[in-house]
Amino acid sequence: MSLTNDYIKSKLTEKFGDQVTNFEEPYHMLSFEAPKDMNLKVMQYLYDEPDLSFRFLTDLCAVHYPDNPGRELAIVYHLHSLVDNFRIRFKVFTDINTPDVFTSANLFSAANWMERETYDFYGVNFVGHPNLKRILNVDEMDYFPMRREFPLEDQTRIDKDDDMFGR
């Protein structure tokens, strides 16, 4: 059976009720959201359910939205059901002061380094991760450089009019 966005949506709503929210289909890819303490339950369900079997973690990354108080960090999972060749996007939001999210490294070995990378750049604390330390940046770094409070350009420069060139 081939999967459809509507079918997955109905399965998820049936199982988790109104816990899973914000169903969207940007560019035909089903995207939804769950509370952050539910992330493992949702992924385990998607993994185990025989007619869904989303057993391939394609991508894991974080996004920083400084203007969303209480939901500053989004952790985005791209899951792939290889049986039906179907992709979905799954997000959890967390606030930036207690960015604790359960690790998915026990479900997907691939998540190990992707979570370390996400921790490295955004400071998301993956609870239960076997080896959560910096991976691409130096160990001594004491900030999370991909957060948006660190703009790329040197803020002391005055020779560039930023209204005209980029943000």
Across the chain, where does the E strand assignment appear? 21-24, 30-34, 56-64, 73-81, 86-94, 100-102, 125-127
Provide the β-strand partners of residue 87.
80
61 touches other proteins by CB under 8 A: yes
Cβ-based nearer residue to other proteins, 102 or 144: 144
CB 97 within 8 A of CB 72: no
The amino acid sitting at 113 is W
Q: Which of 1, 17, 18, 85 binds other proteins (CB under 8 A)?
A: 85
Of residues 107-166, which lie at the interface with other proteins (CB under 8 A)? 108-110, 112-114, 117, 121, 135-137, 145-146, 151-153, 164-166
User: Under the phi-then-psi rule, with left for phi > 0, alpha for psi from -120 to 50, and beta for the rest, what region is 33?
Assistant: beta
Q: Which of 7, 16, 23, 56 touches other proteins by CB under 8 A? A: 56
17 lies in the site for other proteins, by CB under 8 A: no
User: Per CB under 8 A, does 63 bind other proteins?
Assistant: yes
- Cα separation, 37 vs 33, in Å, equals 12
Question: Given the complex with other proteins, which of 158 and 164 has the nearer CB atom?
Answer: 164
CB of 141 to other proteins, least distance (A): 11
Give the bridge partners for 101, in sequence order: 126
Query: What CA–CA distance (Å, rounded) separates 77 from 31?
Result: 10
Among residues 59, 66, 130, 149, which is the contact residue for other proteins, using CB under 8 A?
59
- Footprint of other proteins on this chain (CB under 8 A)? 26-27, 29, 31, 55-59, 61, 63-64, 76, 78, 82, 85, 87, 89, 108-110, 112-114, 117, 121, 135-137, 145-146, 151-153, 164-167
